[in-house]
Amino acid sequence: MHSAGGGLPAAVKALMRLQREMGYEVSHCATSEPTHPAGAAHDDADGAPGPARDMLGAAIRAGDYDFVHFHGVWNTAFIRLCLACRHSATGYMVTTHGQLLSTILASDGLAKRMKKVLYRLVVGNWLLRGATKIHVSSENELAEFRRYAWLRDKTFYIPHILDLCFLKAEDVSHESSPDNRDILFVGRLDPRKGILKLLEGFAGARLPAPWRLRIVGPRGSDSFMQELDDTIAALGLAGRVTVEQPVYGDARQELYRHCYLFCLPSYSEAPGLVNVEAALLGRPVLTTPYTGLFAIAQNGGMLCEPSADAIQKALLAAMAWTKDEYAARSVKIQKWARSEYALEQISPQWREFYSA
């Protein structure tokens, strides 16, 4: 796996725990050094480290592994490792982590988009054709992959495993809405997350005090952070918006517990697991159709386009909820998240994925 980022290494870490419970001897190899604390926190995932990345190909060719599971597609190191798998007749699986979604490609500039299209045609498709199975973690990924006959029969949809601290979290009180009127965003600070549109929608809604917006996550590029600061200032939101460092585990649970509404207006996710984390804590979620969680709209949450106008309307609708409606949404979304993402629901699917 590539060690940078928050979502991918966190998902791999949770999966490795399950693999060990299944009786597999698991090792892992990061193909690059972590680029921020989120990556570093997940590099020592709960399995033995594998050989150094420069030696992994030799270990595969020597037949040291029954199978290899690649996480991601945009990684040139995988070319060498896939060749090693084919040389030793070692089966491999691929989890794409949404990296081939058309919505992600569409959000890139022309030059970057053309490079990705070329890479997929030359490398990505070759990588997928050789895989024994392909794992996708969201319904939007599954729908796109099933358009291709050569991918259809070996593509399997299994939800990612969440951190156990969320699955085992104590119930929140559904008797009344939270005292705080915080709208919470959690995620990497990146343009694709729709943060700038969220700011515009929040400003346009003109929500009265004590409503505020909390943006929590690993810092993005210097240029985007400057754009974020400039947008907050230009919209007159300096006293209503906070930009905060990322937190994990129990501390993140407290973030969710103290917010009124969770909002991830992302242009593309596979899927937006922070949405599920918030739902498991009984917090209504506002997100977009591009996070791969279509059922949220029927289960206590809301879906809207990642535009300032759509977000503004959705925030105004949430502000108008009565206490009874808020409580009903809280119960419904928590019940949905617990049924869809429970380990007893997901574990058998992974067992089948690895056994045949």
Domains of the chain: 7-162+343-355 (3.40.50.2000), 165-341 (3.40.50.2000)
DSSP 200-222: HHHHHHTPPTT-EEEEES----H
pLDDT of residue 270: 75
**What is the average pLDDT across 112-123?**
87
User: 91-105, 210-224, 302-316: which has the minimum mean pLDDT?
Assistant: 91-105
Residues 240-283 pLDDT 10s:
999 999 988 788 899 999 999 999 999 888 788 899 999 999 99
For residue 18, what are its two tokens?
């399950």
pLDDT of residue 166: 80
SS3 label, residue 100: coil
Q: Are 161 and 21 in contact (CB under 8 A)?
A: no
The identity of residue 49, as a single letter, is P
Burial 143-164 (b: 16+ CB within 10 A, else e): ebbeeeeebeebbbbbbbbbbe
Residue 335 burial (C-beta neighbours within 10 Å; 0-12, 13-18, 19+): middle
Beta bridge partners of 229: none
Is pLDDT at 47 greater than 60 in this prediction? no
DSSP letter assigned to residue 265: -
Using pLDDT thresholds of 50, 70 and 90, give the confidence band for residue 104.
confident
- Look-up of token digits 């994925």: 353
**What is the average pLDDT across 87-111?**
87
Using pLDDT thresholds of 50, 70 and 90, give the confidence band for residue 44.
very low
Dihedral sign from CA coordinates of 191, 196, 197, 202: positive
pLDDT of residue 242: 96
**What is the average pLDDT across 309-316?**
98
pLDDT of residue 176: 60
Higher-confidence residue of 179 and 324: namely 324
pTM of the model: 0.85
Using pLDDT thresholds of 50, 70 and 90, give the confidence band for residue 167.
confident
pLDDT of residue 106: 77
**What is the average pLDDT across 28-57?**
61
Using pLDDT thresholds of 50, 70 and 90, give the confidence band for residue 100.
confident
Using pLDDT thresholds of 50, 70 and 90, give the confidence band for residue 68.
very high
Helices (H), the chain: 7-21, 37-43, 53-61, 77-87, 102-106, 110-119, 125-130, 139-145, 149-152, 164-167, 195-205, 222-234, 250-257, 273-280, 308-319, 323-341, 343-355
Residues 12-32 pLDDT 10s:
888 998 999 999 999 888 887
User: At CB < 8 A and 24+ separation, what contacts does 78-83 make?
Assistant: 78/31, 78/127, 79/123, 79/127, 81/56, 81/57, 82/126, 82/127, 82/130, 83/57
- Look-up of token digits 């970057």: 112
pLDDT of residue 38: 37
